[in-house]
Structure 1
Amino acid sequence: MESATNKVVLSGFAGADAEIKTFGTQKLAKVNLAINETYRNSDGEEVKRVQWFNLIFWNAKAELAEAQVKKGTGLTVEGRLQTRVYDGTDGKKRYAIEIVVNDVTIREREKQEAF
């Protein structure tokens, strides 16, 4: 059987400061990543849109995200896709697709720092 790969690489900007939650000794940081895209539609018109992705950082990476990821911070992340199922307030099942971050590079004007 062939092995499967679940790997995602994205580069964009944080839509807000990292949101932090603590579960006992575990720390979680959530960040929304905006990626600007431009393409031409069937009429040849240039269309601009923003794609949003939910990033999840755990433990030491969450602590660094808490300290360094603010709205507008440039990020390049590598991670894996994860689907989470939960019940909505209306009782219906909802699905969330998230990127669990393994590696991240913070892009700044004068330096780049990876953690």
Structure 2
Amino acid sequence: MSKSSSVSIHHIPANVVRIPSPIKIAWRPENVGRKFIGCGLYANGESKCDTFNWIDSYMKPELRHQHLFYEHEELKSSSVHLKTRVEDLQNTISEMNKLNKILQKTIEETKL
């Protein structure tokens, strides 16, 4: 895999060589963050075809960097929210386990 891109788990239909072409993200400064597809053989170093298409439209690098910054901040905020939600759910589970033990003890006592 080249230094200029990363592979997404999403795939589009096979290209002319009938190999799935993964969606990639460019990391070169002039196109950072842009999504593209290329020949499915490129990852193996076998590419001989010229299959290459940008998926998203061109955006000035400064605007793209700003857009990526805002997306990054949004992801950080979502991450904090999700961590808080996980903690809340773990606390709820803990409380339910305590109540379950009390209920089981009460059931055992009523059997006697």
TM normalised by structure 2 equals 0.25
Higher helix share: 2
Higher relative contact order (CA 8 A, sep 6+): 1
Higher strand share: 1
TM normalised by structure 1 equals 0.25
Larger Rg: 2
